[in-house]
Amino acid sequence: MAEEKSQASSSKMLTLKASDGVLFEVELNIAKEMKTVQAYIDDCEDIETIPIPNVLGKHLAIVIEYIKKTNEEYDAEFEKQWNMDDLQLLLLAANYLNISGLQECLCKAIAKRIENKSPEYVRKVFNIENDHSPEEEAKLRKEYKWAFEGVDKD
Amino acid sequence: MLIADWSKLPKELLQIISEKLNCEFNELRFRSVCSSWRSSSIPPKNHLLNLPSKFPYPSKNNNNTSTYPIFKRTIFLINPPPNQQQQQTLNPWLIKIGLDSRGRTSLWNPLSRDKQLRLRFQLPHYFDFNQLSLFKLGHEFVIGDFPSVYPNESYSTENSHFMKKVVAYDDTLNSGNDRSCSVLLTIHISGKLAIFRSGDQQWMIMPEMPPNPYTDVCVFNGRPIAVDSAGRTVVVGSDLSLDLVAEAVFGGDTKYLVESDGELLLVDKYSNRVGQFRQFRQFERSDYEQSDLFSFGADDERDYVIGIERAVRFDVFRLDENDKKWVKLTNLGDRVLFLGKDCAFSVKASNLPMANGNCLIFRDDDYGRDLHSTGLGIDVFCLDKQQILPLSSLPRCSNLFWPPPQWTGLD
């Protein structure tokens, strides 16, 4: 039994359970990239199934795929496939699971999507309410007059 | 499942996103979206907020009361909208933009203090920044009122022609928790360094007389650095002490500092004197002493002689911080260095786009320039051929600057 265990430890499998009940079997070294999961394993060595309550199966699948395939080329293409909603949920997943590489990649992707867009456009796309007072808004516009002048009225 | 509520994203994530925006222009837009985005991002540094709006010129006698406004100008590379399909590749546009002394947004020659075009002449809506990607290449601070392109006027006593490059950085010594303090660093006519801190009324000329006059200053990794004409490079401490960064290389006549790919480079310019002229002087003689630029007649002569210099070739060095030495670079690889009067920066040739990097784009001083020349006065030094070519001989490169590309609608 002990021999089997030491042979299998390099390819020990772990089960991750997403919030909607979907199960994923992953190799230990993949799961270890998720620092949150690593901490779980450190606490209870014998655990086989780890619950991931904040992440849907759909997104956990994407995260696992990312960890397996990540490299410069993959990262560059990775973010292009997702819409804004998925991007946000993936970012929250990466944040919860504490995967710094994925978090960086997604933050960069979001920054790229909002670059050069007007604040009004950003609010529309991200569904955010402008809660600045009119005085604060006027002050902001004054601070960098020409930054707004070039912006299209959308 | 939750509908994505972006305003409630954890602050640490919003901060990371804001840090990845490529210029302060976009950082400001980020901060305007809503209050939680605003409070999650660090406001872009604006040194001008901590400094007066007008400055005197640095001078040893502090009697001069004339002050001049300070302007910040930013250099951008603007890429055409990606959705336009044309057979030929659309070239980007390299511009310098900033306010003129009458508060109008204007375009400036990227490498000099001359004006290029007043943006308002064209309808603003042609320039839809939403559709374009802007890449900030650098910025500069200029003190003084600006003349037209004609060199005649630029030698008047009211102009800032003798102001050298000005850089701004955080005053770590005096900044409290809430207050930010900024410092300006420049080179006085005598070749000594001059400092202006938040709260000062006059420039303080640092008493230390270097063996050679300082020729350039820059801020590298937040630290103010100065180089003299022999290449000896120092860092200015918060207590105004000067610490050696690299020993002199001697070599050519003027040294410049450029940041490129995260490292500091030294550019050594070899010049030939091609002529000279006399000019009425506006400062006390003691200000000019020990400056290589000027030679004097009798004490009471109110004029001096300026040499007209033209660049002949350049050497480039990279910094070996541990050995405190400048190490010669024979090849810049994909990089193109730009040397402006008040700003220096580096761009990858593939971003410009240019076929080859390994060259230096610069502009000789205006002294003695042909009054009627309408060109930008920009030249290119190719490191491999060790040869200077006028910008016009490299059309792809020349089109970066002027005229405005077709897709801007400004031509």
pLDDT in tens, B119-140: 544 444 445 555 567 778 889 9
CA proximity to B187, closest of B156, B224, B152? B224
Q: Is the pLDDT of residue B151 over 50?
A: no
User: Within 13 A of B198's CA, how many CA atoms are on the CB side?
Assistant: 19
* Higher pLDDT among residues B286 and B165, named by residue: B165
Contact A115 B3 (CB under 8 A): no
Structure tokens at B139: 């910025």
Q: Contact at 8 Å (CB) between B257 and B286?
A: no
Q: What are phi and psi of B236, to 5 degrees?
A: -90, 120
Predicted pLDDT at B296: 47
Q: Is the pLDDT of residue B301 over 60?
A: no
CA proximity to B226, closest of B188, B172, B185, B183? B185
Q: Tell me the pLDDT band of B158, cut-offs 50, 70 and 90.
A: very low
Give the best residue of B28, B29, B120 to mutate against chain A (max A CB count within 10 A): B29
Q: Count chain A–chain B contacts defined by CB atoms under 8 A.
A: 113
Contact A126 B20 (CB under 8 A): no
Go through chain B and tell me how many residues it has. Answer: 411
Q: Is the pLDDT of residue B222 over 80?
A: yes
Q: Is the pLDDT of residue B43 over 90?
A: no
Structure tokens at B85: 């399909």
Helix, strand, or coil (residue A65): helix
Predicted pLDDT at B130: 52
Q: Tell me the pLDDT band of B284, cut-offs 50, 70 and 90.
A: low
Q: Tell me the pLDDT band of B369, cut-offs 50, 70 and 90.
A: low
Predicted pLDDT at A71: 86
Contact A116 B128 (CB under 8 A): no
Contact B127 A143 (CB under 8 A): no
Q: Tell me the pLDDT band of B159, cut-offs 50, 70 and 90.
A: very low
Contact A91 B9 (CB under 8 A): yes
Structure tokens at B82: 């990606």
Q: Is the pLDDT of residue B269 over 80?
A: yes
* Higher pLDDT among residues B90 and B344, named by residue: B344
Inter-axis angle of helices A57-69 and A100-114, to 10 degrees? 100
Structure tokens at A22: 């979907």
Overall pTM > 0.80 = no
A48 touches B at CB < 8 Å: no
CA–CA gap between residue A88 and residue A125 (Å, rounded): 12
Predicted pLDDT at B410: 66
CA–CA gap between residue B376 and residue B359 (Å, rounded): 18
Predicted pLDDT at B32: 81
Mean pLDDT for chain A? 81
Q: What is the DSSP letter of B82?
A: T
3-state SS, one letter per residue, for B120-149: HHCCHHHCCHHHCEEEEEEEEEEECECCCC
CA–CA gap between residue B259 and residue B265 (Å, rounded): 6
Give the best residue of A54, A97, A99, A144 to mutate against chain B (max B CB count within 10 A): A144
Structure tokens at B400: 């970066």
Mean pLDDT along residues B334-349: 94
Q: Tell me the pLDDT band of B229, cut-offs 50, 70 and 90.
A: very high
Q: What percent of chain B has pLDDT over 70?
A: 74
Residue of B nearest to A92 (CA): B9
Q: Tell me the pLDDT band of B244, cut-offs 50, 70 and 90.
A: very high
Mean pLDDT along residues B254-281: 87
Instruction: Write out chain B residues lying below 8 Å of A154, CB-based.
Output: 130
| For the ranges A29-38, B167-176, B401-410, the one whose mean pLDDT is highest | A29-38
Q: What percent of chain B has pLDDT over 90?
A: 31
CA proximity to A119, closest of B130, B3, B78? B130
Predicted pLDDT at B37: 86
Q: Tell me the pLDDT band of B354, cut-offs 50, 70 and 90.
A: confident
CA–CA gap between residue B369 and residue B377 (Å, rounded): 9
Structure tokens at B44: 């872009």
Q: Is the pLDDT of residue A31 over 50?
A: yes
Predicted pLDDT at B333: 92
Contact B26 A121 (CB under 8 A): no
Q: What are phi and psi of B128, to 5 degrees?
A: -90, 100
Contact A140 B10 (CB under 8 A): no
Q: Of A15-19, B88-92, B153-157, B214-218, which range is least confident? A: B153-157
Measured between alpha carbons, how far apart are the two ends of chain B, in Å?
52
Contact A122 B33 (CB under 8 A): yes
Predicted pLDDT at B313: 94
Give the best residue of A19, A75, A114, A133 to mutate against chain B (max B CB count within 10 A): A114
CA proximity to B130, closest of A154, A111, A124? A154
CA–CA gap between residue B331 and residue B380 (Å, rounded): 15
Structure tokens at B213: 């006059």
Residue of B5, B26, B35 lying closest to A115 (CB–CB)? B26
CA–CA gap between residue B77 and residue B349 (Å, rounded): 12
- Total Cβ atoms within 10 A of residue B340: 24
Measured between alpha carbons, how far apart are the two ends of chain A, in Å?
68
Looking up tokens 């350039």, which residue turns up? B216
Go through chain A and tell me how many residues it has. Answer: 154
Predicted pLDDT at B97: 86
Instruction: Write out chain B residues lying below 8 Å of A145, CB-based.
Output: 105
Mean pLDDT along residues B157-169: 73
Q: Quote ipTM for the complex.
A: 0.81
